Amino acid sequence: AQSVAQPEDQVNVAEGNPLTVKCTYSVSGNPYLFWYVQYPNRGLQFLLKYITGDNLVKGSYGFEAEFNKSQTSFHLKKPSALVSDSALYFCAVSRPSNKFYFGSGTKLNVKP
């Protein structure tokens, strides 16, 4: 069965500092992995995906994520956080049936 875990309910970081939002997954076969962001009272927006190839993928708004097959992880990163990055972040996995399974979400708070 597919599953995604986001071990941190909340991450706090100061503006200008690097940020990491953690995600681990469990799936049979090769995973397709995704990150989404949700701003207050909004729908979810796609940030980036890993399908195959380079383990470091770059996405929207300066975010990137690193796929680590041995640790079954797909952590979201950004070198320098902005206050406007404060939002709810979701990791998702889809394979093999094109069903998408989401983690429980991590609230990112970036303080000035």
Residues that bind another protein (CB under 8 A): 6, 32, 34, 36, 42-46, 49, 51, 90, 92, 94, 97-105
Is the Cβ of residue 6 or residue 87 nearer to another protein in the bound state? Answer: 6
Q: How far is the CB of 104 from another protein (least distance, A)?
A: 4
Tokens representing 10 are 């909340």
Angle (nearest 5°) at CA 97 between 60 and 51 = 35
Is the Cβ of residue 19 or residue 35 nearer to another protein in the bound state? Answer: 35
Is the Cβ of residue 77 or residue 107 nearer to another protein in the bound state? Answer: 107
Q: How far is the CB of 7 from another protein (least distance, A)?
A: 13
Is the Cβ of residue 4 or residue 13 nearer to another protein in the bound state? Answer: 4
Query: Tokens 């097959």 — which residue?
Result: 69
Spatial contact of 6 and 91, defined as CB atoms under 8 Å apart: yes
Spatial contact of 21 and 55, defined as CB atoms under 8 Å apart: no
Rounded Cα–Cα distance for residues 14 and 8 (Å): 17
Q: How far is the CB of 51 from another protein (least distance, A)?
A: 7
Q: How far is the CB of 15 from another protein (least distance, A)?
A: 26
Phi, psi of 76 (to 5 degrees): -90, 135
